[in-house]
């Protein structure tokens, strides 16, 4: 579905800021960093090479990674040269989690995920022009390195006492699970990555989440010891909701940027449900709207919160960035039609199906009575309650009011599905087959 009237912000640096450093600070993207004055001067000067690494510990990146992808893009738009690293070697180990050892994935699985993540990262960068991006895989320089060479050339520069003080390591040491030598060594491998990229591409800046700060400084320290040069790191804040809950997690389920793992419709609804207290900060981090535009939305949140203008713009911008304008138009049309503001029969079948999968739903044979479908989907508790709801005029099927409790479900919408509604806002999907 194409919607030429659907317009989004063009990715660009806000010209009202003197320096891209000032912009990313205003957007709340700098939680911790090396010398801030040096970084500000560095980013204001000639183009530098910088990188961010993504480990293939899952077949998709998630919302936490999206912060890094958009930061990579912002710095590139300012004229700097990005390296996108997908960790073919570090992904075989995994960085230490706070509570327990990771399950090691097979080499074949990691190689497959490397390819998937590489494609995802590439969508956010430009590979043309004087500051064209480059993709790298740390397996290229770690695979040929023997254990003896690794210990002699890299390990000798690390002090165990310093390594033990890293947050991720100390958390695990204080847990019941402890930490293996494998995960304990992860910070050395990430330090090696920065050193190798410094040597190959004169890379002088690494970005990552603030929870990775120990791994980020592992590289800056190693470059200083081995090369006698200064390198820099920026740790972005961990995004949390105003109530203190972890952003992007609901009952342990991550919000993925792969459309097969989190549908564009579910992705859109996630952003649309952002709390008023969080939406302005989300606009700063996850969109390319200018400072002036975001300040206007901040005023609307205060004066007309019931319109949810900021949430609608946030959802539009982020879904378009991740899934494209056409997919965004399709999910907006589906969202509006499901709630009575559009034509259900005109919807894209795949988008409609994915939308209904997010609702209470049931699969029934064609010709199933509506009263039975109401019970199967959980919209009512019993057949008698279903008949009563129909008699009171409170049930619609595929947008039309059900007048007779003998009515049946045929799956007349695109893709062989139907939509049941009880009252104004209680919906359920029916998959006929």
CATH number (domain holding residue 312): 1.10.240.10
Same-domain check for residues 226 and 369 = no
Segments of 177-320 assigned E as strands = 203-209, 232-236, 249-250, 253-254
Round to whole Å and give the CA distance between 180 and 314.
42
Same-domain check for residues 99 and 228 = yes
Overall average pLDDT of the 308-318 stretch:
98
Q: Which two tokens stand for residue 52?
A: 């961010």
Overall average pLDDT of the 149-156 stretch:
93
Does residue 11 sit in helix, strand or coil?
coil
Same-domain check for residues 197 and 53 = yes
Closest CA to 1 of 254, 353, 241, 329: 329
Question: Among residues 204, 236, 268, which one ends one of the domains?
Answer: 236
Q: Is residue 328 part of a domain?
A: yes
Closest CA to 14 of 407, 250, 313, 292: 292
Check residues 244 and 135 and name the one with the higher pLDDT.
135
Looking at residue 159, which CATH number applies to its domain? Answer: 3.40.50.620
CA angle at residue 92 from 86 to 96, to 5 degrees?
A: 95
Overall average pLDDT of the 336-354 stretch:
90
User: What pLDDT digit, counting tens, does each position of 39-89 carry?
Assistant: 999 999 999 999 999 999 999 999 999 999 999 999 999 999 999 999 999
Same-domain check for residues 332 and 390 = no
Q: Is residue 350 part of a domain?
A: no
Same-domain check for residues 139 and 279 = no
pLDDT at 252 over 80: no
Q: pTM for this structure?
A: 0.92
Same-domain check for residues 311 and 386 = no
| Count of domains forming the chain | 3
Does residue 70 sit in helix, strand or coil?
helix
Q: Is residue 134 part of a domain?
A: yes
pLDDT at 234: 98
Same-domain check for residues 136 and 63 = yes
Q: Is residue 419 part of a domain?
A: yes
Check residues 90 and 6 and name the one with the higher pLDDT.
90
pLDDT at 4 over 60: no
pLDDT band at 172 (very low <50, low <70, confident <90, very high): confident
Looking at residue 415, which CATH number applies to its domain? Answer: 3.10.290.10
Overall average pLDDT of the 160-176 stretch:
84
Same-domain check for residues 185 and 282 = no
Q: Is residue 7 part of a domain?
A: no
Question: Among residues 286, 315, 344, which one ends one of the domains?
Answer: 344
Same-domain check for residues 258 and 391 = no
Round to whole Å and give the CA distance between 153 and 357.
53
User: What pLDDT digit, counting tens, does each position of 107-128 carry?
Assistant: 999 999 999 999 999 999 999 9
pLDDT at 404: 92
Percent above pLDDT 70 for the chain? 98
pLDDT at 165 over 90: no
Environment class of residue 251 by beta-carbon count within 10 Å: exposed (0-12), middle (13-18) or buried (19+)? exposed
Does residue 258 sit in helix, strand or coil?
coil
Q: Is residue 351 part of a domain?
A: no
Round to whole Å and give the CA distance between 374 and 371.
5
Average pLDDT, rounded, for the chain: 93
Same-domain check for residues 364 and 318 = no
pLDDT band at 262 (very low <50, low <70, confident <90, very high): very high
> 85: how many CB neighbours lie within 10 A of its CB?
26
pLDDT at 161: 87
Question: Among residues 236, 261, 279, which one ends one of the domains?
Answer: 236
Which residues form the domain of 150? 29-236
Of 111-120, 183-192, 241-250, minimum mean pLDDT range: 241-250
Q: Is residue 249 part of a domain?
A: yes
Round to whole Å and give the CA distance between 335 and 163.
50
pLDDT at 251 over 70: no
Check residues 29 and 179 and name the one with the higher pLDDT.
29
Q: Is residue 4 part of a domain?
A: no
Overall average pLDDT of the 101-108 stretch:
90
Same-domain check for residues 297 and 244 = yes
Round to whole Å and give the CA distance between 319 and 119.
17
pLDDT at 226 over 50: yes
pLDDT at 386: 95
pLDDT at 174: 82
Same-domain check for residues 252 and 200 = no
pLDDT at 143 over 60: yes
């Amino acid at each position: 579905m194409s919607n030429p009237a659907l317009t989004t912000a063009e990715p660009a640096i806000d010209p009202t800021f003197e320096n891209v450093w000032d912009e990313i600070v205003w957007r709340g993207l700098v939680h911790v960093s090396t010398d801030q004055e040096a970084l500000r001067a560095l980013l204001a000067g000639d183009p530098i090479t910088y990188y961010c690494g993504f480990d293939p510990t899952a077949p998709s990146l998630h919302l936490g990674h999206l912060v890094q992808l958009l930061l990579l893009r912002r710095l590139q738009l300012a004229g700097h040269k990005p390296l996108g690293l997908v960790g073919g070697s570090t992904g075989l180990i995994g960085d230490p989690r706070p509570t327990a050892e990771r399950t090691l994935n097979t080499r074949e699985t990691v190689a497959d995920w490397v390819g998937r993540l590489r494609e995802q990262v590439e969508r956010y960068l430009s590979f043309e022009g004087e500051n064209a991006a480059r993709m790298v895989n740390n397996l290229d320089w770690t695979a040929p390195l023997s254990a003896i060479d690794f210990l002699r050339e890299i390990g000798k520069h690390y002090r165990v006492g310093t390594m033990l003080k890293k947050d991720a390591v100390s958390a695990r040491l204080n847990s019941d699970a402890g930490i293996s030598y494998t995960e304990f060594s992860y910070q050395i491998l990430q330090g090696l990555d920065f050193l190798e990229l410094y040597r190959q591409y004169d890379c002088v800046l690494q970005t990552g989440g603030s929870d990775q700060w120990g791994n980020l400084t592992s590289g800056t320290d190693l470059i200083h010891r081995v090369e006698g040069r200064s390198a820099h790191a920026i740790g972005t804040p961990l995004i949390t909701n105003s109530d203190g809950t972890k952003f992007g997690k609901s009952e342990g389920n991550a919000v993925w940027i792969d459309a097969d793992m989190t549908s564009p419709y579910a992705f859109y609804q996630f952003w649309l449900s952002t709390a008023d207290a969080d939406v302005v900060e989300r606009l700063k981090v996850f969109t390319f709207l200018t400072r002036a535009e975001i300040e206007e939305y901040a005023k609307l949140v205060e004066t007309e919160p019931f319109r949810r203008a900021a949430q609608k713009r946030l959802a539009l911008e982020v879904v378009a960035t991740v899934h494209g304008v056409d997919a965004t138009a399709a999910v907006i049309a589906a969202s509006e039609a499901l709630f009575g503001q559009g034509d259900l029969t005109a919807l894209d079948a795949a988008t409609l199906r994915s939308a209904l999968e997010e609702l209470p739903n049931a699969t029934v044979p064609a010709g199933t009575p509506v009263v039975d479908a109401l019970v199967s989907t959980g919209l009512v508790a019993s057949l008698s309650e279903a008949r009563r709801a129909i008699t009171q005029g409170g049930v619609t099927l595929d947008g039309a009011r059900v007048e007779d409790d003998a009515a049946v479900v045929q799956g007349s919408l695109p893709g062989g599905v139907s939509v049941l509604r009880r009252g104004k806002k209680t919906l359920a999907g029916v998959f006929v087959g």
